[in-house]
Amino acid sequence: MLKPYLIGKWRAMGLGLLLLIPGMASAHPHGWIDLSVRVILDDQGRVAALHQRWRMDPFYSLVILEELGAAEGEASMEARLDQLGLEIRDTLAPQHYFTEMTYDGKPVAAGDVSEYTVMERDGRVEFSFRLPLESPLELGEEALRYQVFDPSYYIEVVHEADHDEVPLDEALVVVGGDRVCTSRIAAADPDPVKVAQAARLDVTDEAPGGLGRYFAETGEVACAD
């Protein structure tokens, strides 16, 4: 039986190496996720779900794949990745899958994740899942806004970007429905006090709750009638 991975396993397994890398032991974050989001509209043009793809960083991916390969038993790698997906889903559920959504300044509630998968692609572990809204959301004049972040900022979550750190077009797209929608990704603009606070955190420190929010990019989607 595999143990829960995404938070505790990353910290436990990465701690020894992180302490040996100059600069890494004295600042958050200690790993990252490259994020892509598809905003899914239903037949009535309402937002029904956010389909997210998380690509784990190369070091974390290598550690996971090596441990899965070395695990006891006769299970195939595909079966072990499936089990990992279940454990990631269950680990993230109490933390709302690291996702916060708002519309017109009010929180938008999400439902439970039942569709998810884990695979290895080009040496990196990818976790994909469909996060449904609790109720479909009709977009009016306001934009739907979301942030995906680890509250502790131990893991940095950023949209897929090019070498100049400009988000790719495919990092946020709208699919389904027949409405004309626009999207954009707003960069984080953390207060220098928060930046200094994160820089002071040692690899073994626990960050104040919600620190990651200040470093999170914001995805925005608006749809015309």
pLDDT at 11 > cutoff 80: no
On average, the pLDDT of the chain sits at 84
pLDDT at 2 > cutoff 50: no
Return the percentage of the chain with pLDDT > 90, whole number. Answer: 56
Return the percentage of the chain with pLDDT > 70, whole number. Answer: 81
Q: What is the predicted pLDDT for the residue at 152?
A: 82
Q: How confident is the model at residue 60 (pLDDT cuts 50, 70, 90)?
A: confident
Handedness of CA 99, 156, 183, 42 (dihedral sign): negative
Q: What is the DSSP string of 115-167?
A: EEEEEEETTEEEEEEEEEEEEEE---SSPEEEEE--TTSSEEEEE-B-TTSPB
Tell me the pTM: 0.85
Handedness of CA 46, 103, 53, 168 (dihedral sign): positive
Strand partners, 26: none
Helix (H) or strand (E) segment spanning residue 90: helix 77-92
Nearest residue to 152 via CA among 198, 207, 191: 207
Asked if residues 32 and 160 have their Cβ atoms less than 8 Å apart, the reply is no
pLDDT at 117 > cutoff 60: yes
Average the pLDDT over 161-180 and give the result.
Answer: 92
- Give the span between the Cα atoms of 204 and 9, in whole angstroms: 14
